[in-house]
Homo-oligomer: A and B are copies of this chain.
């Protein structure tokens, strides 16, 4: 009997080289229930057409990646971030998902996209660009700015805590508990969180915070992939298929299930070797690993 893949979602970053229609086709043929989309491929296809492609294939859109990069401190940077995130909110609604994943951005001194660290003019500027406390406050402020717009469009701002390896350059939200604290001022249907095993597996407070996220109704997505060693030269691409690394999927999946999560399980793997592999093979391997390591604990 084939495994039940109805809750399995292919985040299309896992098959980065496929167009949106090709990724949707591969997921549908393999029996997946959903896809998680990225904005670049959505824009390439067009959001309305992307929605139709997914619906015609009989799939759901489990999330759109990504909004965020909210940490600018200058007026132009703030305005640009708000504009871009409003566009992302509209795109999420158009492609038919309520869940827009946010990678909130890192320290101004290091945040990507962008090149090397800038050279600040003064010692005070230098300090400000490394002030993680103030940077986090700006994230909270921007979430507050965007929440009404997201609510109007029926889209949830989904905060993604990233592994602390990315705290300087990508996300000053490093733990699930911190994400929930930032979400707390807002209704659960307006601001939620992702639980991504790659990012949070190491957290000594994980069990309690997953339970809290569930109790608050804020688990917008459960994402699974593995922490592999040695790290890739670009740590961003250092993710592996479930089972190839050190994450305890049995335990974490049970915690997520115990927290009441019944939504899609997205597999999002950034890995050059996997990107260089034929899409159908990747989709098949992901399904096998999901069936072996995750599904029994859902």
Contacts and interface: CB of A to CB of B under 8 A. Distances in A.
A109 interface: yes
Interface residues of A, number: 40
B227 A168 contact: yes
Interface stretch (A5-13, A125-133, A273-281): A125-133
Interface stretch (A60-68, A196-204, A213-221, A264-272): A196-204
B229 A127 contact: no
B178 A204 contact: yes
A169 B175 CA distance: 20
A231 interface: yes
Contact of A202 (B117, B167, B246, B248): B167
A104 to B, nearest CB: 12
B229 A169 contact: yes
A263 interface: no
A250 interface: yes
A136 interface: yes
Nearest to A182: B204
A19 interface: no
Given A169-B229, A246-B130, A204 B136 contact: yes
- Of A117, A130, A181, A233, chain B has the most CB atoms within 10 Å of the CB of A130
Contacts of A109: 246
A247 interface: yes
Given A110-B246, A174-B204, A246-B109, A165 B168 contact: no
13 contacts: A110-B246, A117-B229, A130-B246, A131-B248, A132-B251, A133-B207, A133-B251, A163-B165, A164-B164, A164-B202, A167-B201, A168-B227, A177-B205
Q: What 10 A-B pairs come out closest when comparing CB atoms?
A: A167-B202, A178-B204, A168-B246, A130-B248, A164-B202, A165-B165, A164-B164, A174-B202, A110-B246, A127-B250
